[in-house]
Amino acid sequence: MSPLDRTVAILGDLIAYPTVSADSNLALITHAAERLGDAGAAIHIHRDHSGEKANLFATIGPDRPGGVVLSGHSDVVPALEPEWESDPFAMRMQDGRLHGRGACDMKGFIACMLAMAETFAARDLVRPVHFALTYDEEVGCLGARQLVQDLAAAGIRPAAAIIGEPTNMRMIEGHKGCCEYTTRFKGLEGHGSNPDAGVNAIEYAVRYAARMAEIGRGLRNEPVPGSRFEPPFTTVQIGRIEGGAARNVIAGDCLIEWEMRPVRPGDAERVKRDLALFCDEVLLPEMRRVSPGCFIETDVIGEVAGLEPVADNEARDIVARLTGANDCDVVAFGTEAGLFQEFGMSAIVCGPGSIEQAHKPNEYVALSELDACLAMLHGLADTLSR
């Protein structure tokens, strides 16, 4: 079986695990661990506090510091769109494309990693290659945050990380941070015929959202001169609002799920400080004049560091040699790469498939993209053997 055929077969297995972030990824992690273990990798599995999610970290090669991490997240976004032309968790091949939820984001790269394990194991590696599979990237990079903490505790210090998010095999050396929050509003329910007798949580949530939109417009007017990011300013965006019970009931509860993607140091703290002041000085005093038990609370879902372009980047230099690429880009979407960089590794984002396909019905990765990724990993095996 050719490496590409083996990768396609593995990808079919991976897509069949419905690892939506709300559900467990343990079956996929067990499957990957068995494959890597069969290739002779040293396996480490670390579960989260619930016991239902886990990271996998495996190593092939000498037990020494350094080496290169190949990293992919195991979770996927839901596949509830009616536009799916087939079962999203049963891979479908058509016109040189492999369709299925997670095909490009990012089980295609994971399939390439697993398909190459035997190749790495057959080489006399002078530097180790590490395989990292994480949980809950799509909801705040929670698994990668735990992973770097576990590596630090174990004294494991890889030198470079290749994060295989879908980039059409282009090198990405920088991206914005990604901060995700849920803000909850507790009001006082009552009959809709007498609004002044209650505290409408939706009303105050709407005012909070309006203030957020005002802040966003202000940030739009403060682009960073010469920025390579598009857009070249910090963005604030509301993804979901939920609240209320019925038309004739004063809403006692409401929540807003929102995100921020900072491009400038200090922007994130500035936005949070502005919103906190608006709550403390305007919204809460009004709410508590009617009911002292009212509150507004913000939960941090994830605050992921951006990937900073740096002059000295071994991961970039390795991938450039392997792919023949001469330039790097930056992107607005976030990845786990910033966490690896914060941990002290050089990091680059490069993987098969297009981000334009991610999170959409009929998501796919092209066979040609998987083939290009396998060629890069074959070259990495040569590099680490020298």
What residues are annotated to the active site?
A: 75, 137
Q: How far is CA 133 from CA 22, 64, 114, 168, in A?
A: 17, 21, 11, 20
Structure tokens at 339: 């966490």
Q: Interhelix angle for 367-385 vs 108-115, to 10°?
A: 40
Q: Which of 187, 175, 190 minimizes the C-alpha distance to 348?
A: 175
Beta strand extents in 271-326 (DSSP E only): 295-304
Q: How far is CA 134 from CA 70, 110, 148, 163, 222, in A?
A: 11, 11, 11, 11, 35
How many of the other CB atoms lie within 10 Å of CB of 49? 7
Q: What residues contact residue 290 under an 8 Å CB cut-off, 6+ apart?
A: 188, 196, 197, 198, 199
| Dist CA 365 CA 203 (whole Å) | 44
Tally helices (H) and strands (E) across the chain.
11, 17
| Dist CA 173 CA 167 (whole Å) | 11
> Taking CA 189 as the corner, what is the angle to CA 186 and CA 193, rounded to the nearest 5 degrees?
140
Element holding 365 (H helix, E strand): strand 364-366
Q: Interhelix angle for 26-38 vs 108-115, to 10°?
A: 30
| Dist CA 215 CA 193 (whole Å) | 34
Residue 303 identity (one-letter amino acid) = E
